[in-house]
Amino acid sequence: MVTHLTCLFLISDFVALIGAFTAALSRHYTSGGERLYRPEKLQALADESAPGLWTVMEEAVGKKRRSQKRIVAMLHNYAYNRSQVS
């Protein structure tokens, strides 16, 4: 059974994963790394920096190739939006 408290923990876990991923993506790009638009390349960064994030995104969006491209776009958007707040 999912409770209100469980949802808060899930949200805070997701926020922490996005934060870790955003920091890693920023380091990657500021160090001159290649653009990560291919799902398998961005997934590797996500798996290394924020274990479980890609899986959560797949559960929400789907595992098809088209869905993986959407995950790439969404993760870049999350990272961009977080960089504008900080």
- pLDDT string in tens for the chain (86-residue length): 556 555 555 778 889 999 999 999 999 999 999 999 999 999 999 999 999 999 989 988 888 888 999 999 999 999 999 888 75
Length of the chain in residues, anyone?
A: 86
Structural domain containing residue 38: 4-85
Q: How many domains does the chain have?
A: 1
What pLDDT sits at residue 11?
78
**pTM of the predicted structure, to 2 decimals:** 0.84
Q: Which residue has the tokens 């380091």?
A: 27
Is the dihedral angle over the CA atoms 74, 84, 15, 32 positive or is it negative?
positive
Using CA atoms, how far apart are residues 63 and 86, in angstroms rounded to an integer? 31
